[in-house]
């Protein structure tokens, strides 16, 4: 089992993020329901795509050394969370998107459960996706924040390639059903599995992801509420 940094500080965001995901750069799967529900149209990258990818991400194997002492406890993480991806136990983020198939809702809950992986105590996140009220994806994700403020996702690698993100704008003002947020970070997320496809994500300070846009389909997934217990 390996771990990957899923949200770095902005100046270091243009680096490999999580391998093996199809919908979000902030989750990795112990099993691949997302791959079954909404698969990327897989095709082997051609030589130009490989060259472009290596130019962006580098050619060295991604194999970070995990030192448990480098990571914060759950209490320390809650006291000083990552600005754009805060992990505070008991917080639930609710998202909604309108698709050709119907209304999709996402419930992203930072639970109070923990799991020790590679010597690091990780926080368990429960991610439920519903289409027209029926569950189409139900996953558990494991996150931990290091002492530099980076958020890592711990889990199994379920695909052969890594997703990546690039910061394309800062200090953005974003209005979604939940609120109007200033100072947002805008990233473009992409995957070598389908280099022509990407997602635009907007992260609000102290909140996290508030909007996701698929440029190809126009699908917009927006934060509608936050609930804390």
Question: Each residue of 5-26: pLDDT tens digit?
Answer: 665 544 433 333 333 322 233 3
* 3-class DSSP state of 166: strand
The predicted model scores a pTM of 0.62
Domain boundaries, the chain: 2-228
The CATH number that domain 2-228 falls under is: 2.40.360
Do residues 183 and 171 lie in contact, with contact meaning Cβ atoms separated by under 8 Å? yes
Residues in the chain, total:
229
CA 168 to CA 188: how far, in whole Å? 7
Own/partner pairs, 199-205, CB within 8 angstroms, 24+ separation: 200/168, 201/25, 201/165, 202/172, 202/174, 203/84, 203/85, 204/84, 204/174, 205/83, 205/84, 205/181
Question: Each residue of 26-45: pLDDT tens digit?
Answer: 333 333 332 222 223 334 44
């Amino acid at each position: 089992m390996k771990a990957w940094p899923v949200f770095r500080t902005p100046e270091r965001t243009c680096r490999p993020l999580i391998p093996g995901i199809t919908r979000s750069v902030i989750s990795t799967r112990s099993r691949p329901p997302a791959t079954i529900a909404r698969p990327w149209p897989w095709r082997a990258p051609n030589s130009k795509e490989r060259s472009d990818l290596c130019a962006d991400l580098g050619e060295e194997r991604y194999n970070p050394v995990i030192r448990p002492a480098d990571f914060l406890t759950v209490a320390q993480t809650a006291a000083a969370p990552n600005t754009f991806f805060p992990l505070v136990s008991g917080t639930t983020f609710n998202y909604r998107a309108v698709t050709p198939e119907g209304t999709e809702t996402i419930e992203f809950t930072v639970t109070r459960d923990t799991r020790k992986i590679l010597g690091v105590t990780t926080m368990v996140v429960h991610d439920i996706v519903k289409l027209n009220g029926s569950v189409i994806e139900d996953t558990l994700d494991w996150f931990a924040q290091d002492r530099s403020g980076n958020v890592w996702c711990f889990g199994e690698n379920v695909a052969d390639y890594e997703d990546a993100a690039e910061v394309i704008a800062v200090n953005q003002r974003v209005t979604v059903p939940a609120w109007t947020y200033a100072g947002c970070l805008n990233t473009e997320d992409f995957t070598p599995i389908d280099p022509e496809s990407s997602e635009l994500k907007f992260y609000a300070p102290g909140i996290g992801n508030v909007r996701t846009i698929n440029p190809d389909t126009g699908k917009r997934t927006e934060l509608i509420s936050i609930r804390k217990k």
